[in-house]
């Protein structure tokens, strides 16, 4: 071996040795704790699947074992005695923050961690009343709770975990890995909603189907939209080129074929660090009936991230887009997307919400004490217009899935507005007039409002007053001439 090579080899070994020494003095355990060794001794045979998953994890290689995560303190609400040790079945974000402080801080300040606040929303009222009954009775719910809410809403959004008198977790609230689960230690959120136990594979969380557990279906079909989009098509065609297990995983450096959900909303780019606050690259909140900017909700919830305005979030997402697309492409995409948001808001959401509010006043005057939300068809029609079709059109446009934007979004909005909503509003007007008194007065106000809406620029085509008919017929003629 030449002198130069020998010197280089010695230098390399010294660097590696110093790196190894740094690892053992960085706060990570130098070996597995005695308590975790006892856990492993038993669980390697009783729950070999959990043991093997842990053995494949970075936790194993960092000497972080069962007890380091599941340790409980005397006085903890969910602490139980297990083979002489106090442990908790639930590993909450508060527990994870002992090592992952930055990630947990970002997460608990995000919309994800607040998903459990659905409990008082229309969605949960539907599950408790219209869809459910109080037949499911537990110690925490002696008067009963709806199994529809327990098995549906709460499994994605999260339950408020209740601890029974004997220290066991109440069956109505556990098992649950809902994103916004409210834990017995008071923390909100569930890290294992995304990071499946006990391997906590980074490759697994970067796959789009990880998000599809909750982000799917008629009201927020992001996974279906993604799969239809060019992004999704390219991902599935090139999954073997995505380097999903790369520690760094920077788009435009470690992979080029396609983005996943994590790429756009969480993962690192050349200009942005990894974040566990999934809302910091989203300007528009496409969930509520009327469009609003995402930071407005953060402000309402008192989150520090409210300081990051919608325009700042848009710039963050544009940096992600620029990893693969040029400036003109990104700029024009946002113009198309925001034009669709404006169309939805002005044509359907604003007038629709005002009409529904007034129609509800009429129905309450007609039915009195017997009125109940979701006991008449117009409640479902309006709910689906914004909650299903209105969300689909907005989400579809935001992720470039034209079929969802058109046939599952714009088309359904038009069909159900003119074919169901307007006729049902007219029926409410008729009911109010027949009832008389206050109901008749309110019905007259609703009728005047409906007439005004149907005569505005967005809707008057449907009553034979199409302002664009001449231009539309011109394009129709060009089409017919082209395909003679």
Both structure tokens of 163: 């601890």
Shared-domain flag, residues 366 and 463: yes
Beta-carbon contacts of 412 under 8 Å, excluding residues fewer than 6 positions away, are 388, 389, 392
What is the full DSSP assignment across 210-237? HHHTTS-SSS--HHHHHHHSHHHHHHHH
Alpha-carbon span 54 to 40, nearest angstrom: 10
The last residue of a domain, from among 291, 312, 327? 327
Calculate the dihedral angle through the C-alpha atoms of 58, 48, 90, 34, rounding to the nearest 10 degrees.
-70
Alpha-carbon span 206 to 22, nearest angstrom: 29
464 Rama class: left (phi>0) / alpha (psi -120 to 50) / beta: left
Predicted local confidence at residue 469, as pLDDT:
77
CB-CB contact of 340 with 405 (8 Å) = yes
Distances from the Cα of 188 to the Cα of 92, 107, 122, 210, angstroms: 8, 9, 21, 20
CB-CB contact of 115 with 157 (8 Å) = yes
Helix, strand and coil percent figures for the chain, each rounded to 5: 60, 5, 35
Predicted local confidence at residue 3, as pLDDT:
46
Which pTM does this prediction carry? 0.90
Cβ burial of 207 (10 Å; 0-12, 13-18, 19+) is middle
Shared-domain flag, residues 457 and 351: yes
The last residue of a domain, from among 283, 305, 327? 327
Cis peptide before 257 (omega within 30 of 0): no
The residue segments making up the domain with residue 112 are 101-193
Alpha-carbon span 140 to 309, nearest angstrom: 41
Predicted local confidence at residue 26, as pLDDT:
58
Predicted local confidence at residue 1, as pLDDT:
46
Cα–Cα nearest to 179, from 162, 169, 194: 194
Predicted local confidence at residue 11, as pLDDT:
40
Shared-domain flag, residues 117 and 171: yes
The answer as to whether 36 is a domain residue is no
- Per-residue confidence in pLDDT tens, the chain, 484 aa: 454 444 444 444 333 333 333 334 457 889 999 999 999 999 999 999 999 999 999 999 999 999 999 999 999 999 999 999 999 999 999 999 999 999 999 999 999 999 998 777 888 889 999 999 999 999 999 999 999 999 999 999 999 999 999 999 999 999 999 999 999 999 999 999 999 999 999 999 999 999 999 999 999 999 999 999 999 999 999 999 999 999 999 999 999 999 999 999 999 999 999 999 999 999 999 999 999 999 999 999 899 999 999 999 999 999 999 999 999 999 999 999 999 999 999 999 999 999 999 999 999 999 999 999 999 999 999 999 999 999 999 999 999 999 999 999 999 999 999 999 999 999 999 999 999 999 999 999 999 999 999 999 999 999 999 877 788 888 888 889 888 7
Shared-domain flag, residues 136 and 277: no
Beta-carbon contacts of 447 under 8 Å, excluding residues fewer than 6 positions away, are 429
The answer as to whether 43 is a domain residue is no
The answer as to whether 86 is a domain residue is no
Cα–Cα nearest to 458, from 295, 347, 349, 298: 347
The answer as to whether 429 is a domain residue is yes
The answer as to whether 2 is a domain residue is no
The last residue of a domain, from among 327, 362, 380? 327
Q: Which long-range contacts (CB under 8 A, 24 or more apart) does 451-454 make?
A: 453/351, 453/355, 454/422
Shared-domain flag, residues 285 and 365: no
Shared-domain flag, residues 313 and 253: yes
Question: Exposed e or buried b for every residue in 328-364, given b needs 16+ CB within 10 A?
Answer: eebeebeeebbebbebbbebbbbbbbebbebbbbbbb
Shared-domain flag, residues 338 and 459: yes
Alpha-carbon span 279 to 265, nearest angstrom: 7
Count CB-CB contacts under 10 A for residue 324.
Answer: 17
**437-454 vs 422-435: helix axis angle to the nearest 10?**
150
The answer as to whether 15 is a domain residue is no
> For residue 463, what is the DSSP state?
G
Shared-domain flag, residues 113 and 182: yes
> For residue 375, what is the DSSP state?
S
The answer as to whether 401 is a domain residue is yes
Shared-domain flag, residues 478 and 364: yes
Shared-domain flag, residues 472 and 352: yes
Cα–Cα nearest to 265, from 277, 247, 250, 248: 277
Number of domains into which the chain is organized: 3
Shared-domain flag, residues 428 and 449: yes
Count CB-CB contacts under 10 A for residue 370.
Answer: 8
The answer as to whether 44 is a domain residue is no
């Amino acid at each position: 071996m030449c002198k130069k090579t020998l010197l280089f080899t010695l230098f390399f070994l010294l660097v590696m040795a110093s790196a190894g020494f740094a690892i053992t003095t960085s706060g990570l355990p130098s070996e597995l704790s005695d308590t975790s060794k006892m856990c492993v001794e038993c669980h390697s045979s009783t729950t070999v699947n959990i043991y093997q998953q842990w053995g494949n994890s970075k936790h194993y290689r960092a000497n972080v074992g069962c007890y380091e995560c599941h340790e409980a303190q005397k006085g903890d609400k969910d602490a139980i005695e297990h083979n002489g040790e106090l442990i908790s079945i639930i590993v909450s974000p508060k527990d994870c923050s002992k090592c992952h402080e930055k990630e947990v801080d970002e997460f608990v300040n995000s919309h994800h961690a607040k998903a459990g606040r659905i409990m008082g929303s229309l969605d949960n009222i539907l599950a408790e009343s219209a869809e459910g009954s109080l037949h499911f009775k537990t110690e925490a719910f002696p008067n009963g709770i709806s199994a529809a809410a327990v098995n549906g809403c709460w499994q994605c959004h999260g339950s408020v975990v209740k601890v029974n008198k004997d220290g066991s977790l109440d069956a109505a609230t556990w098992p649950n890995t809902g994103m916004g689960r409210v834990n017995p230690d008071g923390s909100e959120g569930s890290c294992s909603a995304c990071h499946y136990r006990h391997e906590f594979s980074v490759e697994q969380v970067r796959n789009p189907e990880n998000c599809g557990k909750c982000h799917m279906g008629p009201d927020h079909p992001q996974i279906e939209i993604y799969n239809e989009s060019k992004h999704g098509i390219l991902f599935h065609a090139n999954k073997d080129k995505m380097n999903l297990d790369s520690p760094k995983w920077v788009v435009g450096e470690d992979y080029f074929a396609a983005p996943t959900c994590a790429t756009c909303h969480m993962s690192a780019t050349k200009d942005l660090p990894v974040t566990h606050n999934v809302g910091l690259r989203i300007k528009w909140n496409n969930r509520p009936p009327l469009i609003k900017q995402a930071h407005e909700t953060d402000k309402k919830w008192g989150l520090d991230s409210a300081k990051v305005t919608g325009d700042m979030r848009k710039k963050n997402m544009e940096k992600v887009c620029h990893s693969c697309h040029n400036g003109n492409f990104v700029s024009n995409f946002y113009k198309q997307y925001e034009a669709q948001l404006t169309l939805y808001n002005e044509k359907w959401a604003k007038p629709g919400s005002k009409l529904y509010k007034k129609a509800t006043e009429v129905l309450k005057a007609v039915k009195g004490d017997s009125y109940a939300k979701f006991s008449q068809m117009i409640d479902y029609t309006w709910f689906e217009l914004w909650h299903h079709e209105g969300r689909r059109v907005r989400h579809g446009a935001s992720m470039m899935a034209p079929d969802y934007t058109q046939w599952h979004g714009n088309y359904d909005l038009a069909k159900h507005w003119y074919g169901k909503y307007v006729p049902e509003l007219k029926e409410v007007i008729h009911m109010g007039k027949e009832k008389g008194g206050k109901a008749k007065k309110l019905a007259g106000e609703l009728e005047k409002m409906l007439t005004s809406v149907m005569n505005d620029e967005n809707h008057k085509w449907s009553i034979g007053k199409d302002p664009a008919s001449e231009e539309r017929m011109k394009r129709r003629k060009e089409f017919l001439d082209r395909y003679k």
